Amino acid sequence: MTSQRTRERLIQRLYEEGLSNARVLEAIRRTPRHLFVDEALAHRAYEDTALPIGSNQTISQPYMVARMSELLLAAGPLDKVLEIGTGSGYQTAILAQLVERVFTVERIQGLQDRAKERLSELNLRNVVFRWGDGWEGWPALAPYNGIIVTAAASEVPQALLEQLTPGGRLVIPVGAGDVQQLLLIVREEHGFSQHVLDAVRFVPLLNGPLA
């Protein structure tokens, strides 16, 4: 179930669902998603579905990873991206193949440690990790020309807006419970523009780091 043919079927499905960024699709084709899930779930790694990764967290479905990556890159190449919610490291690995540098924040230390190991195995060296509260972003290294959030915030965190460069793009699910919307927010010369995109379902973005 981890064969190249299985991966090709996933890529074909994503293409049929309207995803068309060749670089994003190629990054998903190249990335061994089975390494980012427990061995017992490896046979499901190339299904277009979210899967549990422990600690009440999930690895996002490939469609959503591709969709959010496309939205982030839609205005052109990015050199400095902040990811909130490292999780398994799968979205991180995709981003690392698409942008110059990825700065990723995770509140659950055990998840982050395993993600570091996986990215090291894949020789992805342009990622810097921080264990901390995603609501705060990573102000010491701001600003970023792209920010991607892989958990649903009850509202758009002000700190993340402040850490965007002019023209920078924030892709974030917002909402409580089952009512969540994927938003694209762009920092304009005077304020922010906000675009409401898809209805989505993510785990909640929680406060505070956990060892």
| Chain mean pLDDT for the chain | 93
DSSP the chain: --SHHHHHHHHHHHHHTT---HHHHHHHHHS-GGGGS-GGGGGGTTSSS-EEEETTEEEPPHHHHHHHHHHHHTTS--SEEEEE--TTSHHHHHHHTTSSEEEEEESBHHHHHHHHHHHHHTT--SEEEEES-GGG--GGG--EEEEEE-SBBSS--HHHHHTEEEEEEEEEEEEETTEEEEEEEEEETTEEEEEEEEEE---B---S-B-
User: Is the confidence at residue 56, as pLDDT, over 90?
Assistant: no
Q: Say whether pLDDT at 104 is over 80.
A: yes
Task: Tell me the pLDDT band of 207, cut-offs 50, 70 and 90.
Answer: confident
pLDDT band (50, 70, 90) for residue 57: confident
pLDDT band at 62 (very low <50, low <70, confident <90, very high): very high
pLDDT for residue 165: 97
Q: Which residues are catalytic?
A: 60
In this predicted structure, what is the pLDDT of residue 5? 85
The pLDDT of residue 2: 59
Check residue 211 and give its pLDDT: 58
Q: Which pLDDT belongs to residue 38?
A: 86
Give the model confidence (pLDDT) of 105-128 as tens digits: 999 999 999 999 999 999 999 999
Average pLDDT over residues 68-90: 95
Residue 1 has pLDDT above 60, yes or no: no
The pLDDT value recorded for residue 24 is 97
In this prediction, residue 40 carries a pLDDT of: 86
pLDDT in tens, 133-188: 999 999 999 999 999 999 999 999 999 999 999 999 999 999 988 889 999 999 99
What pLDDT does 184 receive? 98
Does the pLDDT at position 25 exceed 80? yes
pTM of the model: 0.94
